[in-house]
Structure 1
């Protein structure tokens, strides 16, 4: 009986003896210092447990591994700051303790400049829309620049909360790393995703610019001169240059603003993707271990340890959803709007080859990006439900309250990113969005005068300097 008392020294002795007796059964999967022992002796209900404070303190020791969130996200956050998003200091530091947010800083000023510029374009777009008549196609600039201003504000808000999120994520992640090992491919995977998405976004921006130049060429009789630049800016920024003359000191900042807004708009989806990958990968580590012991007799401490790690990820998922829910909602609303817009534009005759190239590339990229965001975000939900099959296969001789609690949590908890809890991002959401797009498109085709809204748009010379 004395062997099962609560004295930490005796607990260590018992742990040592169990390692000597059971050998590989314990040390094969976990380091003995990190085991949660939950053996119930035949003559009593005493539970052996390594002191929780010492356990957590031990896990918080040691250097930060390369696959921790802060370290893996460094290239992504540096990229964000190039587009006036996430105005934080210390993002390139190897330790999250150096992260800090400062309201009165050049980075926040850079973000505010993007917001002010976008809002200015929104106001001018509203004025032009009111003067020329409202239609679905006339709302493009209003939605594009308006949503980009909201994106910048949401990431500004996120920057004020980021250090707190990373401080909560880090300890939970290190517990999993100590038991299941690091994810060595995660940083490279995040970098690849970031560079691929932003390269495609830049390519789309270039094709859009080339399309405007091709539309402006007839205005100068095919000559490349300053009049071509004037015509280009009239096509690209009609809401601005319908109010004033084209000048270099206005045109140059507008070009920079347009590029930043395009990148910020794409970065919103990228950010959801990389965080979803990081979280789903941790769930996958637990699930892979569970799959390897499916149908086997495992001790109670194993189920307790796994359940607690799963619960840690559960809390982390809910915390991440609280932080990202507005961004997720805006992302899906934006993608839904622009897919409908592109489908509506497909009913219009294309003026030239560049316009055809831009339409095919832009629409394909938009659909691909929307599907990718949905699948990556839905992967969190998929991985959170994977333990069910393993838990249903637990042999009766090792079924215990820990397994029962674990099974109850997995089956009853809805772990997924949401759009402010209006919807949960799962695989079935993609079918719902597809059905919604078809419905909206039918309505738009019936009630939007596609040709009459832009009757003069086919007369290129009439639109050169309007």
Structure 2
């Protein structure tokens, strides 16, 4: 297997991370992109402080809490920009660590003593998922802009209408000036991109880890099929035992790779899941209680909620696949008769059975498929409680 085949995923993901320099993550950029990142970070801090201040004065009763500028709207705005700020910091940290993580990953691939098949489709899958997320995010956001303004507005008034409608939690009619509106517009787009990008990072890294587990599991399957054939010269038995030992060591290295990635990805995983959970609950609650008037508003609501649900489920399922594939080889090992079990096969079975490998949210929770059902149940319970006690 050539080095080029080995690092298809790593080079493709590095290219995706290079694109991130245009929206505030300058790891693979130059001094100009670094300056833009610092400016964006400072602006996000400023707008987050302003949003929190609006929440405080709203809770203190110092403003008239109209529907469009109530506590819920102000709190949602503060959480949205808090997510943008934390997403920028954590994504920047993760992509900076990717430089040394990718080298260790590549070294593990190239120094393998086993002839493990490469995954020729991984690059296409990464490009497809990246383009899909980008396209759907653009469509959803354009609909949000149309929903905020409608179509019955003069072109010269569009920008002001959009800013006051989408940022009513932050700006009043009297607060509006073009010098404030332009930075707010830029920040809203940047925060939206970062929100989608943090989920994309988790999905792509999970795909890479799952792909390597899949290739290891296929190797186990083929080796089991060869082991079940009636050989059996002593030299061939000894050779197979050495092969099983090397394969077990590959699984040890793969588990170490998952834990290395999890250590760097954990904070972003926690942020993504908490943020998606909050906004799914909020969207459902507002949709049930208030509903949406007008075709464009109803279309945007259902498409926005659908996209948020799809993205949140994709994050959980992609990360859960790592745990699922970490134990998948056991089904092939169980096909071997007990008489065909060498000490190395028994060690491998014991290792795969008892070594829990999964991506986590900073160790607070692990991502498996059962977690998706638990989150769904919690969302339903949360909505029922809100509906019951809402006045």
| TM-score, normalising length: structure 2 | 0.87
1:75 and 2:15 matched: yes
1:150 and 2:86 matched: yes
What residue is the counterpart of 1:439 in the other structure? 381
1:283 and 2:227 matched: no
What residue is the counterpart of 1:354 in the other structure? 296
Instruction: For residue 399 of structure 1, report the CA deviation from its aligned partner.
Output: 1.8
My pick for the range that moved more, 203-212 or 299-308, is 299-308
- The 1:73/1:209 distance shift into structure 2, 3 A limit, reads same
Alpha-carbon distance between aligned partners in 1 of 2:169 and 2:376, rounded to the nearest angstrom: 32
Instruction: For residue 244 of structure 1, report the CA deviation from its aligned partner.
Output: 5.3
Which gives a bigger RCO, structure 1 or 2 (Cα 8 Å, sep 6+)?
Answer: 2
* Structure 1: stretches of 5+ with no match in the other structure: 1-58, 91-101, 450-466
1:193 and 2:129 matched: yes
What residue is the counterpart of 1:123 in the other structure? 49
Instruction: For residue 138 of structure 1, report the CA deviation from its aligned partner.
Output: 3.4
1:329 and 2:270 matched: yes
Number of positions where the alignment pairs a residue of Structure 1 with one of Structure 2: 369
What residue is the counterpart of 2:232 in the other structure? none
Contact 1:269 1:331 (8 Å CA) reproduced: yes
1:340-390 CA distances to partner (integer Å, 9 max, x unpaired)? 011011121313222111101000011111111111111111110011122
Instruction: For residue 397 of structure 1, report the CA deviation from its aligned partner.
Output: 4.2
1:234 and 2:173 matched: no
What residue is the counterpart of 2:27 in the other structure? 88
Instruction: For residue 119 of structure 1, report the CA deviation from its aligned partner.
Output: 2.4
Contact 1:124 1:239 (8 Å CA) reproduced: no
My pick for the range that moved more, 340-349 or 392-401, is 392-401
My pick for the range that moved more, 196-205 or 224-233, is 224-233
Which residue among 244, 247, 251 is the counterpart of 1:310? 251
Structure 1 residues 313-462: aligned runs within 5 Å: 313-347=254-288, 348-449=290-391
DSSP-derived class of the 2:254 partner? helix
Contact 1:202 1:263 (8 Å CA) reproduced: no
Instruction: For residue 178 of structure 1, report the CA deviation from its aligned partner.
Output: 6.5
- The 1:164/1:75 distance shift into structure 2, 3 A limit, reads closer
Contact 1:287 1:387 (8 Å CA) reproduced: yes
What residue is the counterpart of 2:116 in the other structure? 180
1:371-423 CA distances to partner (integer Å, 9 max, x unpaired)? 11111111111110011122223334442221122111101111110011111
What residue is the counterpart of 1:33 in the other structure? none
Alpha-carbon distance between aligned partners in 2 of 1:118 and 1:325, rounded to the nearest angstrom: 23
1:3-32 CA distances to partner (integer Å, 9 max, x unpaired)? xxxxxxxxxxxxxxxxxxxxxxxxxxxxxx
Contact 1:76 1:190 (8 Å CA) reproduced: no
Contact 1:67 1:184 (8 Å CA) reproduced: no
DSSP-derived class of the 1:283 partner? helix
Alpha-carbon distance between aligned partners in 2 of 1:177 and 1:352, rounded to the nearest angstrom: 63
| TM-score, normalising length: structure 1 | 0.74
* Larger CA Rg, structure 1 vs 2: 1
Which residue among 265, 273, 291 is the counterpart of 2:203? 273
- The 1:137/1:232 distance shift into structure 2, 3 A limit, reads closer
What residue is the counterpart of 1:112 in the other structure? 38
Q: Which structure's residues are more often helix, by fraction?
A: 2
Instruction: For residue 442 of structure 1, report the CA deviation from its aligned partner.
Output: 1.7
Contact 2:130 2:200 (8 Å CA) reproduced: yes
- The 1:371/1:159 distance shift into structure 2, 3 A limit, reads closer
My pick for the range that moved more, 73-82 or 170-179, is 170-179
1:69-96 CA distances to partner (integer Å, 9 max, x unpaired)? 43121331133222212x2237xxxxxx
RMSD of aligned C-alpha atoms? 2.3
My pick for the range that moved more, 243-252 or 280-289, is 243-252
Alpha-carbon distance between aligned partners in 2 of 1:183 and 1:384, rounded to the nearest angstrom: 17
What residue is the counterpart of 1:16 in the other structure? none
1:256 and 2:192 matched: no
